[in-house]
Structures are given as C-alpha cells and as structure tokens.
Structure 1
Amino acid sequence: MTKVNVYLTFNGNCEEAFNFYKSVFGNDFAYVGRFKDMPPMEGIPPISGEAGERIMHIGLPVSKETVLMGSDTGGEWGPPLTVGNNFSITISADSREEALRFHEQLSENGQITMPMSDTFWGSYFGTLTDKFGINWMVSFDENIQ
C-alpha cells in the first residue's frame, strides 16, 4: 500500500523539535542519522564539527500508518531554509516502477531536485517541486515491503 507522510526541515534545531514531538506522541525514534554518518560522496566535502552533528534524517512513528520525518538543512551544500516552505510530502511507493511514475508525473511542469536513483541507505529515491510549489520526496524500499 502506498503511504504518504510529512517531512519537516529545520535550521539546526531538528533534534530539539523531534525530542519535543517525541514527548507529545510518546513513541521511540525509528531512526536517527547525522550528517557526519554519511559516507563520502563525490562533490560534497567532508562534514565535521557542528554541521556534522546536525540531523540528516530522523523518523518518529506516530501511528501504525504514519511516520513524522525530518532533517536539518544541509548547510552550504543544501538549499536554504524558508519557513513556510520547510516541509515535503513523502510517498513510499509499492514498486520501483510506481515510484518512477509518481516522480515523473508530479514533476511535470515543475522542477526535479534529485532524479530517482539508488541511495546509500538502500532506497530508490528522488525529490521534486511540483508546478504548484509543493516539495515531494518519492521512494521505494523493497526491504520495507
């Protein structure tokens, strides 16, 4: 079953915000990853110090069907944070083909910010902004199916 969730972006206070959300919803984090934990990637300088401690990805289950997800902005290597546009809608598709179809159709007359590709965390993943200015993250992870 395709799932849709919300992904929030913060400017250095993601961990503080998600600790607050954890106190509200009462669940444990499904995953916490920091930028310093990323493997080396071509074109991105090594991340260290305060920037390395920022949240790369965090997931907090809210219910059986819903996960609140988030990250800090990527600093100089990522887009600047704009409050009011600091969220994305995530789609977890049932297949690679479905993920690609969602990505292609949603990006029509919009802007692809990351083409669909295999990632180091094991998902087939891409991002886009649709023609209405809404940010989307599309993924397929066969380990979750």
Structure 2
Amino acid sequence: MPMLLNPYISFRDSAEEAMTFYRSVFGGELSISRFSEYGAGDPAERDKVMHSMLTTGTGMVLMASDTPDGMEQTVGDNVSISVSGDDEALMRGWWEALAEGGTVSMPLEEAPWGGLFGMCTDRFGVHWMLSIGDAGS
C-alpha cells in the first residue's frame, strides 16, 4: 500500500451530518464506523462516529470522527493530518521524529481494529495521526 496523507476532522456529535454533507458536495463513497463496533464504554457514546471516510472518484479522501465527551475539542484546532501505510520501520521513524519535542496524546500501539495507531502534536502545534497496517482503512 502506498503512503497516504489525509486531513482528519474532529467534530462534537456532528461527524455523520458533516460527512453526509461533504458527500453531497464532492460525491463518492462514505463509510462510517461507530464506537459501539469497538466496545465503547459509555452507552451514551455508542452511536457516535468513531471513524468515517469519504473516498471520492477524483481520489480525494476525507476522514472524520466525533470527539468523545471526555475529551477536549476546540473548533479551529480540530483538524489533524492522518498518515497511513504499511512500512512499519519507516513510519515508526516518522512517529519518533514528529513526537520529539511535542506531545503524545495516544502512544503508537496496537489498535482494537488492527494494526498500530498513535496520535501526537508536534513541536509546531500540528496534530498528527499515524496508522500502520490494518489501522489505515
């Protein structure tokens, strides 16, 4: 699989509505996974969007999710860059470089959906999400 670089937008309870709107604008196929599919602990959040992906016929990919109630979410600070791929050695090197001098909000480790996943903010304030292996889909 080639390396993919995509915008990832975090919403507060409106990811499905927003992504449905973006599909109406850009076309394409929209997939949505809910927290309930991965054993969400809080019953109030089971139907929220854990991950959604819009893939257009022009090759554009846009991803989004709902931010759980227990996590801070600020409009204007709610866009991350998602990098997905299979080359674990290369991507671990990227992870280490991006995290150095920054803040790790979720360590790069096995994800419930497969593969490895981690989130960090680099020293310049840019939010990153890295998915290695199965986590990139």
For the criterion TM > 0.5, the same-fold answer is yes
How far is 1:10 from its partner?
A: 0.3
Aligned to 1:43: none
Q: Does 1:48 align with 2:43?
A: yes
How far is 1:64 from its partner?
A: 5.9
**What are the residue-to-residue correspondences of 1:21-100 with 2, within 5 Å?**
21-29=22-30, 31-39=31-39, 46-49=41-44, 51-63=45-57, 65-76=59-70, 79-100=71-92
Query: Which SS does the other structure have where 2:29 is aligned?
Result: coil
Q: Does 1:10 align with 2:11?
A: yes
Unaligned runs of 5+ in 2: none
Unaligned runs of 5+ in 1: 41-45
User: Would the alpha carbon gap of residues 135 and 39 (structure 1) be closer, same or farther in structure 2, given more than 3 Å must change?
Assistant: same
More strand by share: 2
How far is 1:66 from its partner?
A: 3.2
Q: Size of the alignment, in residue pairs?
A: 136
How far is 1:56 from its partner?
A: 0.6
- Which residue identity does 1:35 align to in structure 2? F
- Which residue identity does 1:109 align to in structure 2? G
* Superimposed CA distance per residue, residues 97-128 of structure 1 (whole angstroms, 9 cap, x where no aligned partner): 11211110011110111111111111211110
Q: Give the CA RMSD over aligned residues.
A: 2.0
Structure 1 ranges of 4+ moved more than 2 A: 62-66
Query: Which SS does the other structure have where 1:114 is aligned?
Result: strand
- Which residue identity does 2:81 align to in structure 1? I
TM-score (ref. length: structure 1): 0.85
Q: Does 1:126 align with 2:118?
A: yes
